Amino acid sequence: MRPPYKPKTYSRRDFLFGLINRYRSDAFWGESTGYDPGTREADAYLKAGSFEKGAELLEEMLSKWPDHLQARQKLAYCYLKSDRPEQAADELNKVLQRGREDNFTFLYLGLALAKLGRLGDAVETWKNYFNVDRPLIQRALNLQIALYDSDAATPEDMVQSIEQAIEEQQAMG
The mean pLDDT value for 33-47 works out to 75
Quick one: which of 121, 113, 172, 163 has its CA closest to 140? 163
pLDDT at residue 100, rounded to an integer: 82
Asked if the model's pLDDT at residue 9 lies above 70, the reply is no
Domains of the chain: 25-100 (1.25.40), 101-173 (no CATH)
Least confident of 8-12, 28-32, 110-114: 28-32
d(CA 88, CA 94): 10
Whole-angstrom CA distances from 140 to 76, 137, 165, 168 are 21, 5, 6, 11
More confident residue, 31 or 170: 170
The DSSP code sequence of 1-67 is ---SS-PPP--HHHHHHHHHHHHS----TTS---SSHHHHHHHHHHHHT-HHHHHHHHHHHHHH-TT
Tens digit of each residue's pLDDT (9 = 90 or more) over 110-137: 999 999 999 999 999 999 999 999 999 9
Query: How many angstroms separate the most distant Cα atoms in the chain?
Result: 50
CA neighbours closer than 13 Å in the CB half-sphere of residue 125? 27
Which percentage of the chain shows pLDDT scores above 70? 78
d(CA 108, CA 114): 10
Mean pLDDT of the chain: 85
Contacts of 46 (CB under 8 A, 6+ apart): 54, 74, 77, 78
Tens digit of each residue's pLDDT (9 = 90 or more) over 68-101: 899 999 999 999 999 999 999 999 999 999 988 8
pLDDT at residue 25, rounded to an integer: 36
d(CA 37, CA 163): 31
Question: In one letter, which amino acid is 114?
Answer: A
Would you place residue 17 in the very low, low, confident or very high pLDDT band (cuts 50, 70, 90)?
Answer: low
pTM of the full predicted structure?
Answer: 0.78
Q: Are 61 and 71 in contact (CB under 8 A)?
A: yes
Q: Are 64 and 70 in contact (CB under 8 A)?
A: no
Question: In one letter, which amino acid is 81?
Answer: K
